[in-house]
Amino acid sequence: MGLRGEAAIVGIAEYPHQRRYEGPRKFTLEQWSELTALALQDAGLEAGDVDGLVCSDIRESGMFTPATVVEYLGQPVNFAERIDLGGATAVGMVWRAAAAIELGICDVVVCALPALPIPSNPNPGPVDPQRFFQSSSPNWGSPQAEFDIPYGNLAQNAGYAMIAQRYAAEFGYDPEIMAKLVADQRANGALNPNAAFYGKPVSVADVLGSKMIADPLRMLEIVMPVAGGGAVVLAAREVAERCRHRGAYVTGFGEHLTIKTPTYAEDMCRTPVGPASEQAFAMAGLTPRDVDAAEIYDCYTITVLLTLEDAGFCGKGEGMAFIRDHDLRCAGDFPVNTHGGQLGMGQAGAAGGMTQVVEAARQVMGRAGERQVAGCDTVYVSGTGGVMSEQSALLLQGG
């Protein structure tokens, strides 16, 4: 079952992530073409090499997104997908691109998630009330609109906080250990020039002293919205071998969806990234012990804790001890989110998960500079969309 490991990430591009974006504003399509050009250049490929594309929504069009992007880029493709998996989108893009390449229907696939601000509209329409509901649907007939939103359970913070509170009741909870997780990741982010918190580490005391947002989650355990975005180019092995950098081959993936709102989860503390990761490891013929670094989707600290457990890096209920006993920094014994994660980079909307993919490729390519994990050959990546409702996993390995 699965991939043979014949497709690799060969090029990457990433906008510096900034809390206050001061550069020129660009439409999503303009960012798409820019990121594509940068990623192809990084790989040593040319525009005409592209024959596949994976996108998500763009601000300029509500539908026909792939065709709109293809036309703008001027690159006809044999394979086009639009992914709607929230924070799991980036990982979902990469495995679909690898699968399409292995099917032989395309050789070079671009996956981009632009997230810089677009130009201010000189003729703005009325404010869309939908925006106040963030990721929750207020449409009539939406179960959320009827049974969750009216009670105030919407957006992300409350759902993740309730998962953390349940975890605390079942397995125990140590705020200092969660603060240590943030401090380790922010130490990594402090070394990353593309991170919003470049040069800005925090201490355990800083995290514990930050404002309580939704018990037990504090401000510094929650991602900060930023401008950013990134892209990767994947290529078939025979193309990858001609590229400028060592390829990061996709040897395993998994994806699992269960619910939209965690109220209806069978078990809030056993998350979909479990089955997704199990499939990814089995496909790659690897175990969690084989991993040199883990780039774990980190919208909140609780997401990392549960992913460490459910992906099998430690047992259920052992995540707190695992974080306490391991040095998660780049030079540590178990490097996690070597780019700082989204807690260190900032979260550029649904593009946040692309930072984990880009950094994983960078590490396998040996291009992470001060953050480079020595002898890094195998990297685990996870993606999380919604409130632990749709999750994905990826294994990248040097060719």
Partner 1 sequence: MSIELERPLPRPTPTSRPFWDGLQEGRVRLQRCDDCGAWVFYPRNRCHRCLSAALTWHDVSGAATLYTFTIARQPTSPHFAGDVPQYLAVVELAEGVRLTSTLVDVDESRIRVGMALAPVFEPVDDDLTMLRFRPA
Task: Could you list the beta-strand ranges (E) of the chain.
Answer: 7-14, 52-55, 79-82, 108-115, 212-214, 217-218, 228-236, 248-257, 293-295, 378-385, 390-398
Contact 31, 229 (CB under 8 A): yes
Applying CB under 8 A, among 67, 105, 145, 321 the residue interacting with partner 1 is 145
* Interface positions, 168-227, toward partner 1 (CB under 8 A): 168-169, 211-215, 217
Q: In angstroms, what is the minimal distance from the CB of 184 to partner 1?
A: 25
- The window from 154-162, 275-283, 338-346, 386-394 that contacts partner 1 (CB under 8 A) reads 154-162
Angstrom distance (rounded) from CA 116 to CA 319: 35
- The window from 132-140, 322-330, 369-377, 387-395 that contacts partner 1 (CB under 8 A) reads 132-140
Instruction: Please list, in sequence order, all residues whose beta carbon lies within 8 angstroms of the beta carbon of residue 97, skipping any fewer than 6 positions away.
Output: 7, 52, 54, 79, 109, 111, 234
Q: In angstroms, what is the minimal distance from the CB of 263 to partner 1?
A: 5
Query: Whose Cβ is closer to partner 1: residue 123's or residue 139's?
Result: 139
Count helices and strands (H / E) in the chain.
Answer: 13, 11
Query: Whose Cβ is closer to partner 1: residue 51's or residue 221's?
Result: 221
Applying CB under 8 A, among 10, 110, 116, 149 the residue interacting with partner 1 is 149
SS (H, E, C) 309-331: HHCCCCCCCCHHHHHHHCCCCCC
- The window from 58-66, 153-161, 248-256, 346-354 that contacts partner 1 (CB under 8 A) reads 153-161
Q: In angstroms, what is the minimal distance from the CB of 168 to partner 1?
A: 8
Applying CB under 8 A, among 68, 137, 153, 210 the residue interacting with partner 1 is 153
* Interface positions, 222-261, toward partner 1 (CB under 8 A): 261
Residue 31: closest CA among 94, 119, 98, 125: 119
Angstrom distance (rounded) from CA 240 to CA 6: 9
Contact 296, 307 (CB under 8 A): yes
Interface with partner 1 includes 138 (CB under 8 A)?
yes
Binding site for partner 1 (CB under 8 A): 129, 132-134, 138, 140-141, 143, 145-155, 157-158, 161-166, 168-169, 211-215, 217, 261-264, 268
